[in-house]
Structure 1
C-alpha cells in the first residue's frame, strides 16, 4: 500500500495514512466499512433459515446411489464380477466417508469443541486424512479382494457414489429456496 501525508500535521510528527493501491483493496475497504455484526437474535434467525448440512445425509445418498448403480449394472450386464466390482468401488468411498462421519460427529469432535475452532479444524484434517488413507488402501487391495475385478465397473462405482455430494448440495439448495419462499 502507498502512503500519503496528512496535511493537518507537519514536521517530525507526520501522520502516515495507508492509501489503497489497487481496486481490490479499495473494494475490500468499502466492504469493511459496510460490515455490521449480527445481534444474537439475528444470528439465531439466520441459522434457522439455513438448511442443516449433514455428513450423514451425504452418506445416505451414497448408499442409495451404490444400490441403484448395482441394480442397473445387474440388469444391463447380468455379470456378477461387474456388480461386485461396482459395489467394491462404491464401498471404497462409502466406508471411508462413514469413518469420517463417525469421527466428526460421534467421535472426538464433541470433545474437541471445548478446545475451540483450532482443535475442531485439526480434528477435521485428521479424519479427512484417515478417510483418504483408507480409500487408497481399499483401492490398492481391490485386486486381491475381488475375484475377476472389472476396473471399469470399480471406477464407475466410485464416480457414481462421489456424485452424492452434488445430489446433497442440490437438495440443500432446494430446501433453502423453499425456506426463503415460505419465510
Structure 2
C-alpha cells in the first residue's frame, strides 16, 4: 500500500453534498454577459476616440463574433450534462468547440460585407476585449483554481 493510498479517505454522501453546497458550480453565462459588456465598453471608447460611429459598430461586431459562438457553445455543451456517458460528454464538448471556432471564423470573414467601411483595428480591439473575459473569469473566481 502506497503512502498516498493510506491518506485517502472517501467522502460519505453527506460530506460530498456539503462540499458541493460549499462550492457551487459557477454559471458560464456570466462570462458571456461580460464579453458583451466589454464589447459595449470598447465600442463606446472607439466611437468617442475616433468620432466615427463605424468604429464603435466594428468593435461591437468583433466582441459579438466571440460572444455569440461562445453562447452557442455553452448551450450545446451543457445540454444533457447531468446524465450520460463521460466519453459522450467529451465528444459533445469537442464538437461544440469546433462549431464555436468555425462560427467565429465565419463571423470574421463576413465582417467586411456586414459592416460597410469596417474599422479592422476597432474590430480587433472588440475581439481582444471579449476574449480577455475568460482570463477575468479566472481572476474573479480564484476558487476554481483551488479545485483543479
- TM-score if structure 2 supplies the norm length? 0.85
Does residue 158 in structure 1 map to residue 113 in structure 2? no
Deviation of 1:51 (Å): 4.2
Q: How does 1:98-177 map to 2 (within 5 A)?
A: 98-105=71-78, 109-110=79-80, 113-173=82-142, 176=143
Number of aligned residue pairs: give it. 143
Is the partner of 1:147 in helix, strand or coil?
Answer: coil
Structure holding more strand per residue: 1
Tell me the secondary structure at the aligned position of residue 70 of structure 1: helix
| 1:63 aligned onto 2:32 | no
Gaps of 5+ in 2: 144-148
Greater relative contact order: 1 or 2 (C-alpha under 8 angstroms, separation 6 or more)?
2
Alignment of 1:14-93 (within 5 A): 30-93=3-66
Once the 2 structures are TM-superposed, how far is the Cα of residue 30 of structure 1 from its aligned partner?
4.2
Deviation at 1:123, TM superposition (A): 0.9
The offset of 1:170, in angstroms, is 2.3
Aligned counterparts of 1:153 and 1:171: Cα–Cα separation in 2: 26
The runs of 5 or more residues in structure 1 that have no matched partner are: 1-28, 177-183
Contact 1:113 1:120 in 2 (8 A): no
Q: Deviations over 1:53-93 (max 9, x none)?
A: 22211111111111111112222221122111111111110
